[in-house]
Structures are given as C-alpha cells and as structure tokens.
C-alpha cells in the first residue's frame, strides 16, 4: 500500500511540473521586410552590387554601436560576445529586391542590429539597430530594413492585429 501511495505521489509531482511549465518566455516571431534600391553597394566597377546582411540579436547595444565596420566584418563574434544572443547571415541581397524573412527573437533579446557588408565600408553607414524590448505584445511584430546606396536603415513597422483594431472601433 505504501509503494502504491509513493508511486501515485511521484506521478502527481511529475505531472505538476509539466502543467506549470517554464518561467522562460516563449520565443517571438518577427517579420523582416527587406528592400534594396537599384543602386545599392556602388563601387568603382559597377553602379550596384550584391550585398550581404548580418542580423544580430543583442542583450546590449553599446559594443555594436562603438564597433568599426571593418572590425565587425573580421571579428564580430569576438567583439559582440558579451551581448550576442544570435547572429544570422541572410542570403545575398541583390539590387532592387524586396524580401520577407521571419526570424525567431530569442529570450533576452533587447536589440535587433543589422550590419551591411558594403564594399566601400569607409564611406558607408553600414550599421543600424532597433530596441525591440518596447514592441507591443498585442501587435504583429514587423521590422523594415532598407538599403539605398551606402546606407542601411531599420525601423519598426508594427501593425495592429485585426482583433485589436476591432476593439479600438468598439470603444
């Protein structure tokens, strides 16, 4: 009888662990809308060239902000090690392209940062970042990344969901 009670108690305890789950927040999906102009990454040989784009998920932004472009190109993992949660290198971006990419924002991510590998890195604005810790949980999460000539920009294009718009009109 004691063995049956002990077994029953053990099963109850194990099942309660799976009911309450983890304290770790669920990963969030983020939609990246990437658009390049028809004259991205110009060089002496061509008015437009393909471009590689790195997307970083960071806990803090200071190391990324202060890093030089060449250093990010050569040793980004070392420079960003203290704040890096994830790095994703996107497929080569061609001139005059629109692309949608979904990424999973991992727990602890406070910033999404992008680094565009321009051939003329000395004159380029190759870094941009966005604080994603302030994105509303109720709305669809979307970010727009635009590349024009030697400049990369990133902005939040947060869209209200259909249901939150209905709630707005009911009030």
Residue 4 burial (CB < 10 Å; 0-12/13-18/19+)? exposed
Per-residue pLDDT at 4: 47
DSSP 3-state helix, strand, coil percentages of the chain (rounded to 5)?
25, 35, 40
The bridge status of strand 84-89 relative to strand 53-58 is antiparallel
- Higher pLDDT among residues 67 and 12, named by residue: 67
**Domains in the chain, CATH or no CATH each:** 25-170 (2.60.40.4150)
The bridge status of strand 142-148 relative to strand 28-36 is parallel
Token pair recorded at residue 159: 């869209």
Token pair recorded at residue 168: 């707005």
Model pTM score: 0.78
CA nearest neighbour of 34 among 49, 58, 52, 57? 52
H or E segment and range at residue 9: helix 2-20
pLDDT per residue over 55-111, tens digit each?
Answer: 999 999 999 999 999 999 999 999 999 999 999 999 899 999 999 999 999 999 999
Q: Do 123 and 95 meet the contact criterion of CB atoms below 8 Å apart?
A: no
Per-residue pLDDT at 67: 96
Token pair recorded at residue 86: 């994830």
pLDDT per residue over 15-32, tens digit each?
Answer: 555 455 556 666 688 999
């Amino acid at each position: 009888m004691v063995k049956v009670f002990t077994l029953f108690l053990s099963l109850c305890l194990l099942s309660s662990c799976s009911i309450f789950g983890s304290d770790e927040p669920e990963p969030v999906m983020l939609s990246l809308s990437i658009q390049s102009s028809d004259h991205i990454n110009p060089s002496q040989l061509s008015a437009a060239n393909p471009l590689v784009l790195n997307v970083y998920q960071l806990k803090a932004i200071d190391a990324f902000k202060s890093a030089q472009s060449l250093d990010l190109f050569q040793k980004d993992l070392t420079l960003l090690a203290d704040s890096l949660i994830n790095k994703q290198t996107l497929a080569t971006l061609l001139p005059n392209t629109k692309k949608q990419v979904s990424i999973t924002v991992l727990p602890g991510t406070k910033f999404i940062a992008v680094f565009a590998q321009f051939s003329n890195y000395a004159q380029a604005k190759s870094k941009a970042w966005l604080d994603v810790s302030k994105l509303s949980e109720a709305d669809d999460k979307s970010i727009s990344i635009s590349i024009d000539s030697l400049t990369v920009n990133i902005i939040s294009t947060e869209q209200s969901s259909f249901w939150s718009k209905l709630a707005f009109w009911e009030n």
